[in-house]
Structures are given as C-alpha cells and as structure tokens.
Amino acid sequence: MSKRKITVAVSGLNNIDSPGPGIPVIRALKESEFFDVRIIGLSYENLEPGLYMRDLVDKSYSIPLPSSGTSTLLERLRYIHDMEAIDVIIPNFDAELHSFIKLANQLKADFGIETCLPTQEQFESRHKSVLYNFGVERSQGSF
C-alpha cells in the first residue's frame, strides 16, 4: 500500500532536558504507516535544537512570537504555505494556541490548511479559574 504524501508544520522544536512537545509529535508522525510525512518546523528562536535535526525536520522557518498578533502570524504562515504547500499545522505551545485557534477557520478557507486544535470554548474550559466548576458539574453527573 502506498502512503499518502502530506506536509505538516509543527512548532515546539526545543529538544533539551525539558523538551518541547514538537519533537515527539514529529517522531510519531514519521512512524506513520499511512502517511509519507514532510515536516516543516516552526520556531520562535533560531537556536531550538529541533531545527537542526535533519532526520526529523525537512525544512524550518521562524514565526513571530504570539505577542506580535494574529495578523503578523497569518502573513508569515501565508509566506510559508506559498513556499511549502502545508496541509496541516500542529501548534504545540499553550502560549500560541489562542492565536492559532483564532486563525483556524481562515487558514482552512484561504489556504486549505487543516489544524489540530481545540475550539475556543474547549480552550477556555481548561483554565485553572474554571476548574472548580468542571469538578462540580462532573460530580453531579453532567457529562
């Protein structure tokens, strides 16, 4: 059976004692029996070790910090997509999730890029400030 070719952009490429989650995600994708995966590394810093792991990351690009705003991120992703034809983006840092969630529909509509993200409601429900309410609802049998 031939594998489907797919290009996946992944962030979180730090691979030190406290690794970023991107490298394990990439390793799992590379082991897929269904996909021939080409990995595009997305990095906030030029010294993230994952950028230089050529056996895992096929091409890498820097992206703006989440504090730069979604319009700056969108423009950078547009450029990267024009160069690499991204099929899927998997963001891996909590700090970037809000920006990617806000852009998910536009990425799909404008570029055909799928994302692996929670909804805004799901994202907000995991905040520590609402954890008590989550526990109360579950203890009352509300699933």
Question: Domain locations in the chain?
Answer: 4-117
**Average pLDDT of the residues in 45-62:** 91
Q: Would you state the pLDDT for residue 123?
A: 81
Show the CA angle centred on residue 103, arms to residues 55 and 50, nearest 5°: 20
Distance CA 34, CA 99 (A): 30
Does 142 have pLDDT greater than 60? Answer: no
Does 138 have pLDDT greater than 70? Answer: no
**Among 3-12, 100-109, 123-132, the least confident range:** 123-132
pLDDT grade for 119, boundaries at 50, 70 and 90: confident
Does 143 have pLDDT greater than 60? Answer: no
Does 17 have pLDDT greater than 70? Answer: no
Structural domain 4-117, CATH architecture: 3-Layer(aba) Sandwich (3.40)
pLDDT grade for 19, boundaries at 50, 70 and 90: low
